[in-house]
Homo-oligomer: A and B are copies of this chain.
């Protein structure tokens, strides 16, 4: 089943070459028609990118796009933060394609299923008493004399692959990110051939945590199995276990899930295989965290989503979706991680089915100077476009890094509010309908009430989220 995206496949190199050839635009006639070119999807008002803008933006990259492959290794990931200070892991031109491996930060919940035998994952998760594959995990202190639970303090948890540097990108531009593919990473352990695995942690930061029956306090991890052969459209639970204090290889004990990648010693846990029997969770493979580097701070906790995207945690950010981000730093510095096999709106207990995925993306740069009069003009927040819908993302504090000042990264966790996120989503959708669709304010208010759906994206990421969905065919009758 390897399509050139499974580095563990014995024939990876052959498959990878075939895959490259397949999408090499010089080799296939259909590409000459522009089907996968920068203008794709722009016709008929289906895209936020007007045909004219698409044509203009096509000039931001070479005539023939290139393909890049970014595996996930200790050298290509950063763990727990976005940072404008990072060196690019790959440099690409606008219009280029890039396949990016992403690793879940919950793979250490079952190393046997999610890490063992997987060279990339092993390099990232390496942790002995002398060495960590990735030392820093989080935006916190890296000074051993200061930090308490580990380098970076787990202030931010996601393993992010990247950043991808997009040549020519500057603050004020908009980066269009097309998700062309998104597939589960198969277990490299021969015992689990044809399967992928994910972990769901019902953790202390979950919405349920202070509201458990009988005032109990416990964290419970459920390991899910995801079919990697393409046969089954659902995930199913394998076993669950209660978190018990785990001592990491450096000797620090973690009574709760307070630091990412702590290897779980299952000789200490009690695994319960009688869990969610017969329950089929429909899979919705997507990237929980995808975005560009913010300008406001050198190291930014990966947990709270913001105007540059990041941990938006909308399950609709999967195959076929397009995201638009305002570029905040030179090169945009796109990173992707927090892969999910599935998630419900709200991500109630703190996590999704956290499952390594590999994505293929096309990145298209739209220069600020070209945005005037187009739907992307002055877009200062992450927008999602699917085949049939446009979505805006509201947050408790839209640009918390700017609004809350120097202590923003701790203060945001005290600002969590669906009510505030709803207000932000309402304002963003109103602006979208007025600027992009040319409605008056009164028209926008009415349409939002009768034809726009507001849902709860997540209530677990500090900066809580509400999304608003407007269906494209609402505008079908316009002439």
- Listed in ascending order, the chain A residues whose CB lies under 8 Å from chain B are 200, 202, 206-208, 211-213, 218, 220, 222, 224, 234-237, 240, 275-282, 342-353, 417-419, 422-423, 426-427, 430, 439, 441-443, 445-456, 459, 466, 471, 473-479
User: Do the beta carbons of A453 and B451 come within 8 Å of each other?
Assistant: no
Q: Is the CB of A459 within 8 A of B422?
A: yes
Task: Enumerate chain B residues within 8 angstroms of A224, measured Cβ to Cβ.
Answer: 450
The complex places the Cα of A451 from the Cα of B276 at a distance, in Å, of 12
Q: How far is the CA of A238 from the CA of B453 in the complex (A)?
A: 22
Contact B206 A474 (CB under 8 A): no
Separation in Å of the A201 CB from the closest CB of chain B?
9
B342 touches A280 (CB 8 A): no
How many copies of the chain does the oligomer comprise?
2
User: Would you give the shortest CB distance from A152 to chain B, in whole angstroms?
Assistant: 25
Chain B residues with Cβ below 8 Å from A222 are 442-443, 446
Interface of A, secondary structure class, is mixed
Shortest A302–chain B CB gap in Å is 19
Q: Are the C-beta atoms of A344 and B449 separated by less than 8 Å?
A: yes
10 A-B pairs with CB atoms under 8 Å apart are: A207-B423, A207-B426, A211-B426, A211-B427, A222-B442, A278-B475, A278-B479, A344-B452, A346-B453, A346-B454
B344–A448 contact, CB under 8 A? yes
Beyond known contacts A206-B445, A346-B449: 8 more, CB 8 A cutoff: A211-B427, A213-B441, A218-B442, A240-B442, A282-B451, A346-B452, A352-B449, A456-B466
By the criterion CB–CB under 8 Å, are B211 and A278 in contact?
Answer: no
Residue of B nearest to A442 (CB): B220
Q: A282-B451, A448-B348, A479-B278 are in contact. Are A208 and B343 (CB under 8 A)?
A: no
Do B345 and A474 have beta carbons less than 8 Å apart? no
Determine the residue in chain B with the shortest Cβ distance to A208: B445
The answer to whether B282 and A220 have CB atoms under 8 Å apart is: no
Closest B residue to A431 by beta carbon equals B213
A200 touches B450 (CB 8 A): yes
Q: How far is the CB of A217 from chain B (nearest CB, A)?
A: 12
- Known interface pairs A459-B422, A476-B280, A477-B236; A452-B417 also in contact (CB < 8 Å): no
